[in-house]
Amino acid sequence: MPGSTGNGKPMKNRIKVFRAMHDLTQEDLAKAIGVTRQTILAIEKGKYVPSLDLAFKITRHFNVTIEEIFLYDAGTSTVDID
C-alpha cells in the first residue's frame, strides 16, 4: 500500500491544515519544495508516503518539526525479539 507505514495503517499528515494556516495552495507548496501539485495532493490524501528528504523539506517550509505534520501510528508496529 503506497500510503501506508508498512503495518497496513496509513501514515497521516496535517499538510492541508498547515497549508490553510499559511494560506498556501497545493501549487504554491509544490513549487516551493520542487515537486508537482499531484505529489502534494497524493501525500495529503494518503496515497503516497514521502521520502524523509521530502518530508523534511515540507516541515522546514512550515518551520515546524516533522512530528507536527506527519503522524506515525506505531501502535500496531511490534517487533518480536527472541
Partner 1 sequence: MKKNSFYLLFGFIAIVLVALFWYSDEIHTSLLIEVAFIAAAAVLYLARRKVTDLVEDERSAKITEQAAMRTLQVFWVVFCAFSIGAVMQILHVPSFPRQAPPVPPPMILPIRSMGFIQLGLLCLMIFLYVGFRIYYARKYGEWETDEE
Taking CB under 8 A as the rule, does residue 13 contact partner 1? no
Taking CB under 8 A as the rule, does residue 6 contact partner 1? no
Q: Which residues are CB-neighbours of 42 under 8 A, at least 6 positions away?
A: 3, 48
Taking CB under 8 A as the rule, does residue 39 contact partner 1? yes
* Pick 36 or 77: Cβ nearer partner 1: 36
Per the CB < 8 A criterion, the answer to whether 73 and 9 are in contact is: yes
* Residue numbers at the binding site for partner 1 (CB under 8 A): 2, 25-26, 34-36, 38-39, 41-42, 44-45, 47-48, 50-51, 53-54
